[in-house]
Amino acid sequence: MVTAEDVREAAAGLVGVTVRTPLRFVAPLNAYLKLENLQPVGAFKLRGAYNAIRRLPDAARQHGVITYSSGNHGQAVAYAAQLLGVRAVIVMPETAPAVKVAGVKKWGGEVVVAGRTSEDRQARAEEIAAREGLAVVPPFDHPDIVAGQATIGLEIAEQLPDAATVVAPVGGGGLIAGVVTGLAAAGSSARVWGVEPVGAPKLQRSLAAGHPVRLERTASIADGLITLTVGAIPFAQITAQRDHVAGVALVDEDALREAVRFLARECRLTVEPSGAATTAAVRSGALRPVPPTVLVVSGGNVDLTQIED
């Protein structure tokens, strides 16, 4: 389990690498936005990726690192590896948005394309890792990843001590597990809601079943939220702190598109559908959180063709 000490150690290790992102109050939402789209790679993923790579033993890093990612974690691993002077190979799906592939290459990552599902990417990454001696940096199912993401919860508790509700999008579960853990580490009493696309309700079904459930298929324009299951480690972290988790809200594709447009037009923020999921939950009425509320905007690497009228 990730402890409060792990979270504080991660926060210290991220100083000078990640941005302490601001909270911005948006009156029409009656909520604060935690702007993780302002991270150097445009998404929260840098927190976990850098924390995981920096904690690898020197011998494990010497040949480089590899991950499997639909985009933002891949960009984060490439960026973190560049900072630490190591090679990075990123296995991405055939459906990865061009903006995210370009982002990986921008930071010096080597792109390998494999299939459409997270299982396809993971299998290919593990094959390459075994052949070339690369260290695998999972996108969410690792304690160092969760500890890195937990620094978001730590910051929210410091920035808004009386927060009653924090809302986080859910892909593999690393972000929401981290937020719950970070808030607890800071002594916050805020309760956490997750948000998933209607086409990818893996955490909702897993919580109902009491164990991680693997969906047969998922689909959404929120490409960062369509994993087939939540990770075992994030799920264990969430269930260990179940009293702090309020539940999971589902949003449809129209709500996601509307939220991206709202954030662009009314807030002048460039946000991808995955990052806009929390706003979509409030705008659509799928969630009516108790204020003061913080909505985590997880990323801003958007392919504008996804949300055109």
Per-residue model confidence as pLDDT tens digits over 177-231: 999 999 999 999 999 999 999 999 999 999 999 999 999 999 999 999 999 999 9
Give yes or no: 45 in active site: yes
CB atoms within 10 A of CB 20: 13
115 phi/psi in degrees, rounded to 5: 60, -160
Q: Model confidence at 63, in pLDDT bands (50, 70, 90)?
A: very high
CATH code at 4-43+142-307: 3.40.50.1100
Over residues 16-29, mean pLDDT? 98
Q: What is the model's pLDDT at position 305?
A: 63
Output the CA–CA distances (angstroms, integers) from residue 76 to 170, 210, 233, in the order listed.
Answer: 18, 31, 20
- Among the residue ranges 12-16, 33-37, 103-107, 255-259, the one predicted with the least confidence is 103-107
Q: H/E/C letters for each residue in the chain?
A: CCCHHHHHHHHHHCCCCCCCCCEEEEHHHCEEEEEHHHCCCCECHHHHHHHHHHCCCHHHHCCCEEEECCCHHHHHHHHHHHHHCCCEEEEECCCCCHHHHHHHHHCCCEEEECCCCHHHHHHHHHHHHHHHCCEECCCCCCHHHHHHHHHHHHHHHHHCCCCCEEEEECCCCHHHHHHHHHHHHCCCCCEEEEEEECCCCHHHHHHHHCCCCCCCCCCCCCHHHCCCCCCHHHHHHHHHCHHHEEEEEEECHHHHHHHHHHHHHHHCCCCCHHHHHHHHHHHHCCCCCCCCEEEEECECCCCHHHHCC
More confident residue, 75 or 97: 75
Asked if residue 275 lies in contact with residue 169, where contact means CB atoms within 8 angstroms, the answer is yes
What percentage of the chain reaches a pLDDT higher than 90? 89
Once rounded to an integer, what is the mean pLDDT over residues 233-239? Answer: 97
307: pLDDT confidence band, cut at 50, 70 and 90? low
The pLDDT score that the predictor gives to residue 308 is 58
Mean pLDDT within 255-277: 97
Nearest to 50 by CA among 89, 27, 95, 83: 83
CA distance 21 to 39: 7
Statement: residue 96 has pLDDT above 90? no
Cα separation, 124 vs 113, in Å, equals 9
Which pLDDT score, from 0 to 100, does residue 49 have? 98
Q: Sorting pLDDT into bands at 50, 70 and 90, what band is 170?
A: very high
- Residue 73 above 60 pLDDT? yes
Is 70 a catalytic site residue? no
Confidence of residue 116 (pLDDT cuts 50, 70, 90): confident
For the cut 70, the answer to whether the pLDDT of residue 304 exceeds it is: no
- Of 45, 100, 202, 206, which is the active-site residue? 45
Mean pLDDT of 22-47: 98
User: Is pLDDT above 90 for 242?
Assistant: yes
Q: Where in the chain is the domain with CATH 3.40.50.1100?
A: 4-43+142-307, 46-136
Catalytic pick among 69, 118, 206, 298: 298
Mean pLDDT value of segment 106-116: 92
> Contact, 270 vs 302, CB < 8 A?
yes
When pLDDT is averaged across residues 46-64 and rounded to a whole number, the result is: 95
- CATH fold group of domain 46-136: Rossmann fold (3.40.50)
Instruction: Grade residue 309 by pLDDT with cuts at 50, 70 and 90.
Output: low
Q: Which two tokens stand for residue 231?
A: 């990770």
Does residue 306 carry a pLDDT above 60?
Answer: no
pLDDT at 93 over 90: no
